[in-house]
Structure 1
Amino acid sequence: MPQIIFLPHEDICPEGAVIDVEPGTTICDAALAHGIEIEHACEKSCACTTCHVYVREGGESLEDPTEDEEDMLDKAWGLEPDSRLSCQARVDDKDLVVELPKYTINQVSEHH
């Protein structure tokens, strides 16, 4: 069974996490099922960028993003070559290393 390794994130996952995932599960669903509260303002319908993540390792095992996902990613804060919408990226049979961005496009915080 593949694993997703979430790198530490100051607010969402301070210790980081390693979770086992069934192939075919989205990164977002896997995170939420394990208490990692990734934002998903559009209810995982590929209509926003709040679930944007960086797939630091293993991204080559994911299906290529759809045109809709690429269009939404163009609006994401901090876009990088390994950016994906976690609601669209489905785990295959390889482990992934995922980093959550410090901010999302609609995030407001008194601390930052």
Structure 2
Amino acid sequence: MPTIKVLPHAEYCPEGAQITAPAGTSICEALLDNGISIEHACDMSCACTTCHVIVREGLASLNEAEEEEEDLLDRAWGLTPQSRLSCQAIVAQKDLTVEIPKYSINHAKENH
């Protein structure tokens, strides 16, 4: 099973984390399943950018971003060439390193 290294984030994962997830799982699902409560205001339907992550290692192993995701990412805070919506980025067989950006555009946190 691939390992996902999550870099420290002051709110969601202060110490960082190392989790495993089966191939075919989205990064968002893997984080949530392992107690990392990343925002996902649209319930993982590719309709917002609150689950934006930066894939620091392993980006090429993920599925290709579709046009809808790329259009939404243009609105994400802290966009980089390694940015993905974690609800759309599907884990393959390679290990990943992800960073959750410091901010999101969600003005009111959802109770997920």
- TM bucket (normalised to shorter chain) is over 0.9
Report deviation, 1:40. Answer: 0.3
Using the aligned pairs only, state the percent identity: 63
Counterpart of 2:32 in 1: which secondary structure?
Answer: helix
Cα distance per residue 1:5-49 (max 9 Å; x no partner) = 000001110011101110000000000001000000000000000
**Structure 2: 5+ residue stretches without partners:** none
Counterpart of 2:76 in 1: which secondary structure?
Answer: coil
Q: TM-score, normalised by structure 1?
A: 0.94
Alpha-carbon distance change, 60 to 102 in structure 1, aligned in 2, over 3 angstroms: same
- What amino acid maps onto 2:63 in structure 1? E
What is the aligned partner in structure 1 of residue 55 from structure 2?
55
Matches of 2:37 and 2:57, distance apart in 1: 21
Count of residues paired in the alignment: 109
Matches of 1:38 and 1:106, distance apart in 2: 12
**Structure 1: 5+ residue stretches without partners:** none
- What amino acid maps onto 1:9 in structure 2? H
Counterpart of 1:88 in 2: which secondary structure?
Answer: coil
Matches of 2:50 and 2:106, distance apart in 1: 7
What is the aligned partner in structure 1 of residue 86 from structure 2?
86
What is the aligned partner in structure 2 of residue 75 from structure 1?
75
Counterpart of 1:49 in 2: which secondary structure?
Answer: coil
What is the aligned partner in structure 2 of residue 46 from structure 1?
46
In the TM superposition, structure 1's runs of 4+ consecutive aligned residues that sit over 2 Å from their partners are none
- The answer on 1:101 being equivalent to 2:101 is yes
Matches of 1:108 and 1:56, distance apart in 2: 27
- What amino acid maps onto 2:78 in structure 1? G
Counterpart of 1:93 in 2: which secondary structure?
Answer: coil
Q: CA RMSD in A?
A: 1.2
Matches of 1:60 and 1:41, distance apart in 2: 26
